[in-house]
Amino acid sequence: MQEYERVEVIRLLDCEATKANILLALKRLSNSQSTLPAGAPSALSKIQPAQPEDAVSIFFAGHGAAQGARFYLIPHDLGYAGARNAPDAEGMRTILSHGVSDLELEAALEGVDAAQMLFVLDACDSGQALGAEEKRRGPMNSSGLAQLAYEKGMDILTAAQSYQAAIEAAQLGHGYLTSALIEDGLKRGLADRDPKDGLALAREWFDYAEERVPQMQEREMQTRPSLDFAGNDPKSKDPKQRGIQRPRAFYRRELETRQFVVAKP
């Protein structure tokens, strides 16, 4: 079990979660500048270049979109003010041009030298960041976040499959994935299970969320059968399974002796 001298938590919330600030925060993990650009959140000054003995965790909870083989994080400054549920082609181009693509994430993180890295993407279409759905390990895109994860040995968990919605429930105050990871997995200690030893390991945490998120939606479908979760998932032959949100995990390598301890529930 590893111990760290200190833990720095950097938050970019609401209007601070712009494309420029997101990329700046990631780039500072490999190349910290002495001064921040004008208007940048002061909290980013705490970010120093990661050292080979450090661990880096990145958690994005927000909107996402897939286009072709690419995945985009949608920041606060999305550049679009039209209808929320049905942007036209021009509106979608505007949104994507303001988004943070998997290629930009790759460029921002490629210089990070840390012993262990985790990346959680709680966003719609986020499985596209890992490429083809039938594969789980290896460099699934020729470039982008999946390739970077393979090269650096970074664990990634996405909220959904490619071109699949990541559901947010008002009563939870979070998306299903964030609720499963934080509220159930850590606060209730349910991710500590294989074995139950007082430690929530990264792989336990991710595996728990992969199992838990579909259960949460299935329970909601049973209690509120009028809800339509089919969305853009017409492939399932079983109508009851259509639209079930299913997270995807990419694991850095085969199980290592030094595992990432996420929390001590």
The model's pLDDT over 41-73, given as tens digits with 9 standing for 90+, comes to 999 999 999 999 999 999 999 999 998 888 999
What is the domain-level CATH number for residue 60? 3.40.50
**pLDDT computed for residue 141 by the predictor:** 45
Which residue segment(s) compose the domain that 136 sits in?
Answer: 14-263
pLDDT band at 234 (very low <50, low <70, confident <90, very high): very low
Kindly tell me if the per-residue pLDDT of 180 is higher than 90. yes
Position 144 in a domain: yes
What pTM does this model have? Answer: 0.85
- Tens-digit pLDDT profile for residues 237-253: 454 444 789 999 888 66
**pLDDT computed for residue 133 by the predictor:** 54
Q: How many domains does the chain have?
A: 1
Reported in sequence order, the residue ranges of the chain that DSSP labels E, i.e. its strands, are 55-61, 63-67, 70-74, 100-101, 116-122, 154-158, 168-169, 174-175, 200-201, 248-250, 261-263
Position 43 in a domain: yes
**pLDDT computed for residue 253 by the predictor:** 63
Q: Judge whether 101 and 66 are in contact, CB under 8 Å.
A: no
Kindly tell me if the per-residue pLDDT of 132 is higher than 80. no
Contacts of 148 (CB under 8 A, 6+ apart): 105, 106, 109, 110, 154
